[in-house]
Amino acid sequence: MWDSDATTFRWPWLALALGALVLLLLVLWLRPWRRPSRTGASYVAHAARLQSLPRYRTLVRRQVALGACLTLAALVACTGAVVLAGRLQQRQSMSQEERTRDIVLCLDASGSMAEVDADVLREFRTIISGLRGERIGLTIWSGAAITVFPLTDDYTYVLDQLNAAEKAFASGDVYSDEYAVFTAGTVLDWDVQSQMGDGLASCVQRFDRSDEDRSRAIVLASDNEPIGAGIFTVPDAAAFAREKKVVVHGIAAPATAERPDAAQQFEAAVTSTGGTFSVLGADGSTKAVIDAIASLDAKPIKRPPLVQVLDRPRLGTVVVGVGLAGLVAVWVAQAVLVLRDRRAGERR
């Protein structure tokens, strides 16, 4: 998924300067115009006689070969060093498209719903590991809605929060401290409780980035058994959700089935937004919701492509290594020849 560009030098000027320096040093070292300096030198005459000796020719040929190899190896090592100094880099870019969905868990925190909420949370916990790019939020409501955590893709945090919520709901004891602490603030007035219309509307408002074209879904768990009157009726809330293009998936508590009117209203509201409706306890109750969420249309989101620049030191290192190995090899060969000659001289 990373697209690789051509490798280039990070500091081409440095590579050029070093290359020029190497050339300059080479020229200075060879100095074809140079005459041997006389300082510190002693003169010897008739040394040209050496050139007629067969051993002289052997030695010169050997020296020329060794010198050529040595020079070549040194140049290779220098080239590698220059490449290393220039910092060979490869630019890689990744065009990222995120398919993103926002899901708000919208749980009725009234006492009768505790077990259902625990089930829903458990199911969600298992599928979070399979999510990528989605954002999850959790809102609980009864008479009033509170946000446990807003939409986020920090899954470790989400999992922590879901665990805590599940623990609070799973005790089943609505009078326990844990439950009371977790749901604190959802009941402002004991006469107004379990307002599904208000809860749904609040959850719809939890979606942010309204200017972005994202898939938005609410998993609404409730028994639709309101106490007192709320601000939004259930159909009003459903209409509000439709207006915001939020799909609402409903999970009804088993007890809802005993009240056909409430169940019907719940189902009608949910289906009107394009969501699914299921009753907990029936086969695959939460599974259906999760399948529905999985099939939810994920909108691709364009982000500026990610660019990473990687150093590619391998080429330079290998070249330097080859050069150094060559140098060592030539030196070893030289030492072997010298030792052989010395041994031959001792034998004589």
Partner 1 sequence: MTAHLTRIKSRLAIHAHRKVWGLLEGEYAAIHVGRGIDFNDLREYVRGDDVKDIDWKASARSRQLLVKRYVAERKHTVLLCVSTGRSMAALNDAAVAKRELAVLVSGVLGLLAVQHGDLVALVHGDEHRRHVERPGAGELHLERLLGTVHRAITPDGPHSDLPGLLRHVVRTIRRRTILVVVTDDVTLSEESTLLLRRLTAQHEVLFLTVGDLDPTRREVAGRRLVDVDADAEVPGWLRRDARLRAEFAALVDEEGQRMRRRLDQLGIAHEVVRDHDGAITAVFRLLERHRHARRR
Choose, by CB under 8 A, the member of 54, 130, 260, 304 that binds partner 1. Answer: 54
Shortest distance in whole angstroms from residue 77 CB to partner 1: 22
The size of the interface with partner 1 (CB under 8 A), counted in residues, is 27
Q: Does 34 bind partner 1 (CB under 8 A)?
A: no
Of 140, 92, 120, 70, nearest to 324 by C-alpha is: 70
- Candidate ranges 43-51, 92-100, 146-154, 194-202; the one touching partner 1 (CB under 8 A): 43-51
Shortest distance in whole angstroms from residue 330 CB to partner 1: 14
Q: Does 36 bind partner 1 (CB under 8 A)?
A: yes
Shortest distance in whole angstroms from residue 319 CB to partner 1: 29
Choose, by CB under 8 A, the member of 13, 33, 43, 190 that binds partner 1. Answer: 43
Instruction: CB nearer to partner 1: give 303 or 342.
Output: 342
Q: Which helix (H) or strand (E) holds 74?
A: helix 54-85
Shortest distance in whole angstroms from residue 326 CB to partner 1: 20
What does the alpha-carbon distance between residue 204 and residue 98 come to, in Å, rounded to a whole number? 22
Q: Does 335 bind partner 1 (CB under 8 A)?
A: no
How far, CA to CA in Å, does 86 sit from each of 4, 8, 18, 72, 89?
Answer: 19, 9, 9, 21, 9
Q: Which helix (H) or strand (E) holds 300?
A: strand 299-302
Which tokens hold the place of 73?
């190896």
Choose, by CB under 8 A, the member of 6, 52, 190, 261 that binds partner 1. Answer: 52
Asked if residue 83 lies in contact with residue 316, where contact means CB atoms within 8 angstroms, the answer is yes
Instruction: CB nearer to partner 1: give 39 or 295.
Output: 39
Instruction: CB nearer to partner 1: give 55 or 314.
Output: 55
- Candidate ranges 48-56, 95-103, 106-114, 253-261; the one touching partner 1 (CB under 8 A): 48-56
Residues 6+ apart with CB under 8 A from 228: 143, 189, 191, 192, 193, 195
SS3 category, 8? strand
The DSSP code for 189 is B
Q: Does 29 bind partner 1 (CB under 8 A)?
A: no
Q: Exposure pattern of 259-297 as b/e (b: 16+ CB <10 Å)? A: eeebbebbbebbeebbbbbbbbeeeebbebbbebbeebe
Q: Does 63 bind partner 1 (CB under 8 A)?
A: yes
Q: Does 53 bind partner 1 (CB under 8 A)?
A: yes
Which tokens hold the place of 47?
């040394």
Q: Does 342 bind partner 1 (CB under 8 A)?
A: yes
Choose, by CB under 8 A, the member of 16, 20, 24, 50 that binds partner 1. Answer: 50
Q: How many CA atoms lie within 13 A of 142 on its CB side?
A: 21
Shortest distance in whole angstroms from residue 343 CB to partner 1: 10
- Site residues, partner 1 (CB under 8 A): 35-36, 38, 40-50, 52-56, 59-60, 63, 341-342, 344-345, 348
